[in-house]
């Protein structure tokens, strides 16, 4: 029976190959998009899921609640880790992960320098590898990294440094030109879908003496992970946490300091805190892509339903004859479902080809290693099988019921029309729904692109154009050469100014600390501190509101503050703050000498923080160089040459300020690209379906149009007749789509502290686009039908 049904299905699909092609095109593109979205979502949800103890691992993060806002940091105070080991009995282990970085040197057996590279490093202890069970190729994770000045390498890094990871253990590497580290272990390469991309793990035992008493100093570079004991739940930490906060954290009046225990699975999906891989994909984006995937398949299925029910007219005689010959309705339903599933299967084959072709572009867009392998990833096969069954039943069940339910008497007498071949009202509802989905995506795309343009063009309170940020070594010998380097670079033609600093005005690397204003008592909010020199304001073109810039100094002796600091202190006149003494981190005490106009110190999703600037050479991590835009390539070559001459034992590395800022909005740029691509796909699917439906309607009304033409109707009147109903349906679709689009777009924009004003123009433009494309699509097909010679349609009547 199945073999017979399949043979009939193939015959009918070939007979109506025009509509088969339209359906396969729509379904295959929709299915390919769904498969791509599934691959991406599955990959994003796989982050940090490769560890055996993943369900018991949590990251400790910092949080502050102010009367006028809140602050998040993935960092913790350095003394928190040993304190948690002592105060939380329900924890099996506590591990610290401290970010570092510097020059790695390797010598040959003769003592000659063989390799010199700049690499990011992490300070860890053996407890870190008890939480995260990375496979070790050599060494013992429970014993290695216990002693100071030892290091473990990833397989990739061991090969890079020594040519063969088998020879790495026992070797010595030099770190930052001052410390020799003995390699004690090699672990397997960290998977890309991990939030901690560790390649060089240095023993924390040689680092732990720093800042172990500064509870009010939180740096994003210090992370803490905990492992709950078996049988313990996260709720069991509430009472000990309350006692812990009361014991170690100072009460700051209206500010509430808190700690969150973030599940390992949420680290990659929480944009408030971030992670060391600098990759986050929020659940809103994941859900948004999932909804787009549903929209895509729904649009393709609506195409199929509309065309299949419209085709019922041409297949009415077949149904009538089958019923007269004794076929039951269930047999006919099974026959038409077989056709649908067969067509869907062919669409899936084409979708696999499209997926394979499009996957490299998607992987490049997300900068991820995505793969489409049915053998290595059987879940994809399960998804595709489910997709075929779901789409086949969703798209085919209703048309099968309609076609199998036709009256055999009417069918044989050729009296079945579009009106009684299924509900015409339902067909119109489906067209409206299809276009409503299309309009929602068009509107969303327009708003996303507008918000992205707003973020690119919004004044940030400083000038980021043509500013290079070469890193500088911070060891004591290198600090003595800082002024020499600056003097040399300032003499390069095309260099306008230069400034030593710990970070640019807008930076993802922030240091939050407590401070006191004109008093011995700390204020009830944290402050974002940045080291700068006397040329910082000039280099970044910050605007002074009151006072003067910092004077030249190697150590902290005065401060600049931004306007937000004064607002939080309820100071209206900036001049009142000049000369007032402030104390930062309980260590640095100096007067305020100037107030700078507010600038966006983080991305535009977040409000401007209170910022303090001070001079401190030992805190400087980069030299910001402002250049003439016309001479950037030549200037950069000269900067690298001067840098290498000044620091021959280090490795030159530099970024551009504008590139760093653009990196903040990488997820928005990706989502904007996806919206454009998938909106285009949905528009394509919707309008090829519309073209097919119009073609069928025009074919069914050929005799009517011929009679009207004989009676004097013009071609314009005939085209308008066919256009009117579709234009009305698209207009209704706009009315349906607008409130839904408004809700989704408003929620998306609410993520941003600084955002565009949502007005009516994106909605109006989406309506004009949808109506214009509909008018063009319908007119092209209806014009061809209207120009047909009426004699050809009526000569057999």
Res 391: pLDDT:
72
CA dihedral (372, 376, 380, 381) in degrees, to 10, reads: 110
Round to whole Å and give the CA distance between 344 and 379: 19
**Model confidence at 418, in pLDDT bands (50, 70, 90)?**
very low
Average pLDDT of the residues in 13-25: 70
**Model confidence at 697, in pLDDT bands (50, 70, 90)?**
low
3 state DSSP class of 683: helix
Round to whole Å and give the CA distance between 239 and 237: 6
Question: Taking the chain, what is the end-to-end CA distance rounded to the nearest angstrom?
Answer: 40
Round to whole Å and give the CA distance between 163 and 336: 63
Q: Is the pLDDT at 411 greater than 60, yes or no?
A: no
pLDDT by residue (tens digit) across 280-330?
887 877 888 888 888 888 887 777 776 666 555 555 566 566 656 666 666
Higher-scoring residue by pLDDT: 377, 9: 377
Round to whole Å and give the CA distance between 80 and 59: 12
Could you tell me which residues come within 8 angstroms of residue 550 by beta carbon, excluding any fewer than 6 positions away?
Answer: 532, 533, 534, 536, 537, 558, 560, 593, 594, 613, 614, 615
Chain mean pLDDT for the chain: 82
85 and 67 Cβ atoms separated by less than 8 Å: no
Res 332: pLDDT:
66
3 state DSSP class of 499: strand
Round to whole Å and give the CA distance between 102 and 100: 7
Round to whole Å and give the CA distance between 359 and 291: 20
569 and 523 Cβ atoms separated by less than 8 Å: yes
pTM, to two decimals: 0.77
With the C-alpha atoms ordered 545, 548, 552, 555, is the resulting torsion angle positive or negative? negative
Residue ranges of E strands in 601-677: 611-614, 622-627, 654-656
Look at strands 91-99 and 122-124 and give their pairing. Answer: antiparallel
Residue 38 phi/psi, 5-degree rounding, is -60, -45
Residue 276 token pair? 């060391």
Helix/strand/coil (H/E/C) assignment for every residue in 194-221 = CCCCCCEEEEHHHCCCCCCCCCCEEECC
Q: Is the pLDDT at 796 greater than 50, yes or no?
A: no
Round to whole Å and give the CA distance between 652 and 118: 8
Number of H helices, E strands in the chain: 23, 26
Could you tell me which residues come within 8 angstroms of residue 639 by beta carbon, excluding any fewer than 6 positions away?
Answer: 468, 470, 489, 492, 495, 625, 654
pLDDT by residue (tens digit) across 39-70?
888 888 888 988 989 999 999 998 888 776 77
Residue 146 token pair? 């216990």
């Amino acid at each position: 029976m199945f073999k017979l049904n399949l043979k009939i299905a193939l015959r009918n699909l070939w007979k109506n190959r025009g509509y088969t092609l339209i359906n396969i095109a729509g379904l295959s593109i929709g299915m390919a998009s769904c498969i791509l979205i599934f691959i991406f979502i599955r990959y994003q949800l796989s982050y940090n899921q490769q560890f055996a103890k993943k369900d018991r691992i949590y990251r400790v993060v910092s949080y502050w609640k102010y009367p006028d806002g809140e602050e998040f940091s993935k960092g913790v105070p350095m003394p928190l880790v040993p304190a948690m080991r002592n105060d939380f009995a329900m924890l099996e282990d506590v591990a610290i992960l401290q970010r570092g970085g510097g020059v790695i040197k390797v010598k040959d057996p003769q003592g000659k320098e063989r390799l010199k590279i700049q690499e990011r490093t992490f300070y860890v202890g053996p407890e870190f590898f008890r939480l995260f069970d990375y496979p070790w190729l050599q060494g013992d994770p429970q014993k290695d990294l216990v002693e100071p000045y030892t290091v473990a390498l990833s397989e990739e890094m061991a090969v890079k440094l020594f040519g063969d990871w088998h020879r790495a253990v026992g070797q010595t590497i030099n770190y930052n030109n001052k410390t020799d580290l003995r390699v004690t272990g090699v672990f397997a390469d960290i998977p890309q879908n991990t939030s901690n991309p560790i390649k060089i793990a240095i023993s924390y035992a040689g680092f732990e003496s720093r800042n172990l008493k500064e509870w009010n100093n939180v740096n994003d570079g210090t992370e803490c992970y905990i492992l709950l004991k078996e049988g313990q739940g996260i709720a069991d930490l509430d009472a000990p946490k309350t006692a812990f906060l009361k014991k170690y954290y100072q009460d700051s009046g209206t500010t509430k300091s808190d700690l969150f225990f973030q599940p390992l699975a949420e680290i990659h999906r929480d944009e408030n805190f971030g992670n060391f891989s600098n990759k986050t994909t929020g659940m809103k984006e994941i859900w948004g892509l999932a909804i787009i995937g549903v929209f895509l398949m729904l649009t393709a299925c609506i195409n199929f339903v509309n065309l299949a029910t419209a085709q019922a007219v041409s297949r009415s005689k077949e149904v009538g004859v089958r019923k007269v010959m004794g076929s039951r309705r269930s047999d006919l339903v099974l026959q038409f479902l077989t056709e649908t599933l067969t067509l869907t299967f062919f669409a899936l084959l084409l979708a696999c080809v499209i997926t394979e072709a499009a996957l490299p572009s998607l992987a490049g867009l997300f900068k991820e290693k995505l793969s489409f392998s049915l053998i290595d990833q059987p879940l994809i096969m399960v998804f595709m099988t489910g997709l075929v069954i779901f789409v086949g039943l969703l798209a085919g069940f209703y048309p099968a019921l309609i076609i199998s339910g036709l009256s055999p008497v009417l069918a044989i007498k050729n009296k079945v029309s579009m009106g009684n071949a299924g509900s015409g009202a339902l067909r119109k509802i489906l067209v409206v729904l299809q276009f409503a989905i299309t309009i929602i995506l068009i509107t969303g795309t327009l708003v996303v692109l507008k918000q992205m343009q707003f973020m690119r063009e919004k004044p940030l309170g400083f000038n980021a154009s043509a500013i290079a940020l070469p890193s500088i070594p911070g060891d004591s010998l290198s600090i003595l050469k800082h002024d020499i380097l600056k003097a040399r670079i300032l003499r390069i033609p095309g260099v306008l100014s230069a400034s030593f600093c710990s970070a640019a005005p807008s930076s993802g690397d922030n240091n939050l600390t407590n401070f006191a204003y004109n008093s011995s008592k700390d204020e009830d909010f944290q402050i974002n501190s940045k080291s700068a020199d006397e040329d910082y304001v000039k280099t970044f073109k910050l605007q002074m509101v009151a006072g003067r810039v910092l004077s030249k100094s190697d150590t902290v002796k005065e401060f600049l503050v931004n306007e937000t600091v004064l607002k939080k202190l309820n100071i209206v006149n900036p001049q009142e703050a000049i000369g007032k003494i402030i104390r930062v981190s309980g260590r640095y005490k100096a007067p305020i000498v100037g107030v700078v106009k507010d600038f966006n110190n983080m991305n535009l999703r977040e409000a401007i923080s209170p910022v303090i600037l001070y001079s401190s050479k030992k805190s400087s991590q980069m030299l910001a160089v402002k250049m003439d835009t016309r001479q950037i390539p030549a200037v950069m070559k000269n900067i690298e040459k001067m840098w290498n001459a000044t620091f021959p034992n280090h490795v030159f590395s530099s970024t551009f300020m504008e590139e760093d800022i653009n990196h903040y909005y990488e997820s928005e740029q990706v989502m904007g690209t996806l919206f454009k691509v998938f909106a285009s796909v949905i528009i394509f699917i919707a309008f090829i379906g519309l073209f097919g439906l119009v073609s069928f309607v025009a074919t069914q009304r050929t005799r009517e149009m011929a009679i009207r033409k004989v009676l004097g109707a013009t071609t314009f009147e005939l085209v308008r007749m066919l256009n009117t109903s579709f234009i009305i349906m698209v207009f209704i679709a706009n009315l349906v789509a607008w409130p839904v689009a408004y809700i989704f777009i408003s929620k998306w924009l609410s993520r941003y502290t600084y955002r565009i004003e949502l007005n009516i123009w994106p909605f109006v433009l989406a309506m004009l686009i949808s109506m214009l494309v509909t008018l063009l699509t319908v007119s092209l097909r209806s014009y061809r039908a209207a120009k047909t010679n009426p004699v050809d349609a009526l000569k057999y009547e």
